Amino acid sequence: MQTTRRQFLTQTAAAVTGATLVSSTALAAENTPAKLRLSACDWSLQAGGPEGLAIAKRVGLDGLEVSAGGPGDAIALADPALRQQYKDQAAETGVAISSLAMGFLNNAPLAEDARGPAWLEQTIDAAEDLDVKVLLLAFFGKGDLRKKRKLKESAVDVVVERLKEAAPRAEKAGVILGLENTLSGEQNLAILDRVQSDAVRVYYDIGNSTYNRYDVPAEIRALGDRICQIHIKDGRHFLGEGRVDMQAVADAIAEAGYEGWLVLETSLPTKDRDADFMKNAAFLRNLLGLA
């Protein structure tokens, strides 16, 4: 069931007051660990290209979030030969492509670049060919939808119109466009309400939201099935050692009934890539009761 903006406000307030009434043990018992899988961003794993799938396997992950390419007239993954290389590596390693990411939109904003609609079409088609269900649309840096913490209304208007145009293609392909940005849950929900398509949802980042001073557990509970995927990180820290309350996040994920990929966008505190990712993955598996 979709959450409206008004319901979001009510549910957020209820989540804040009611979260303490639900025990972590009960929530863990209700959640089905098999329905949660761990992935990582290829840029965080420093593993760009098809060979990144083998690196993800080496550090014990189930998947890899793959960058779609750069902001040329055609994105890299518009090339069938490159997509075939990813398919071959996925079959060889047994590691899935959890999602595609249009990170280049941070420097070539969807709200400003005339090529934006074409990029969306190309990436949706690539995702369909790769059997990937989630496509991350990034709104940071030049593409940020806020300025000095105030909403850039005109930019949001353009983004809404471009999402409306792309949504039917995404729906037909079975692909979800996930919005990752600096906005609150309520502000994101207002965008979704304007687009009016289940193919457009929120790609929630617990690190970004914590550092933007949002109530992350309450937002996860209130957004519920409007979240299509989740980034896991905590600034420069190992998970469980920084500002993000990982136990509260785990409880909220369980209570919201989230099923899908948890994607590590973690840093490298010791600069040992493999060891640092293995440590964070082990922490997360232990926290969530994953085998």
pLDDT tens for residues 178-229?
999 999 999 999 999 999 999 999 999 999 999 999 999 999 999 999 999 9
CA 140-262-206 angle, to 5 degrees, is 45
What pLDDT score was predicted for residue 222?
A: 96
Cβ contacts of 155 within 8 Å, gap of 6 or more: 109, 111, 112, 145
d(CA 29, CA 27): 5
Strand partners, 200: 177
Contact in structure between 179 and 140 (CB atoms under 8 Å): no
**Mean pLDDT, the chain, integer:** 92
Domain that holds residue 36: 5-288
Cβ contacts of 26 within 8 Å, gap of 6 or more: none
What pLDDT score was predicted for residue 272?
A: 98
SS3 annotation, 36-68? EEEEEECCCCCCCCCCHHHHHHHCCCCEEEEEC
pLDDT tens for residues 229-284?
999 999 999 999 999 999 999 999 999 999 999 999 999 999 999 999 999 999 99
Q: Please tell me the number of Cα atoms within 13 Å of 27 on its side-chain side.
A: 21
Query: What does the DSSP 8-state code read for residue 266?
Result: -
Residue 264: name the closest of 39, 111, 7, 27 by CA. Answer: 39
Mean per-residue pLDDT, 107-122: 98
d(CA 234, CA 243): 7
d(CA 110, CA 119): 9
d(CA 14, CA 107): 38
Contact in structure between 77 and 100 (CB atoms under 8 Å): yes
DSSP 3-state of 176: strand
pLDDT tens for residues 11-70?
555 544 444 434 343 333 344 445 999 999 999 999 999 999 999 999 999 999 999 998
Find tokens 């989630």 and name the residue.
134
pLDDT tens for residues 82-110?
999 999 999 999 999 999 999 999 999 99
What pLDDT score was predicted for residue 11?
A: 56
Whether the CA torsion 189, 102, 99, 57 is positive or negative: it is negative
Which CATH number does the domain housing residue 170 bear? 3.20.20.150
d(CA 276, CA 273): 5
Residue 43: name the closest of 61, 33, 56 by CA. Answer: 56
pLDDT tens for residues 123-171?
999 999 999 999 999 999 999 999 999 999 999 999 999 999 999 999 9
Residue 43: name the closest of 126, 87, 104 by CA. Answer: 104
Structural domains in the chain (count): 1
What pLDDT score was predicted for residue 12?
A: 56
d(CA 260, CA 252): 14
The two tokens of residue 117 are 């609609």
| Confidence class for position 7, pLDDT limits 50, 70, 90 | low
Query: Distance of alpha carbon 46 from its chain centroid, rounded?
Result: 18
Q: Residue 186 — φ and ψ, nearest 5°?
A: -65, -45
Query: What does the DSSP 8-state code read for residue 241?
Result: S
* This prediction's pTM: 0.90
| Confidence class for position 10, pLDDT limits 50, 70, 90 | low
- Biggest distance spanned by C-alpha atoms of the chain: 53
The Cβ of residue 265 has, within 10 Å, a number of other Cβ atoms equal to 22
Residue 236: name the closest of 280, 204, 278, 274 by CA. Answer: 280
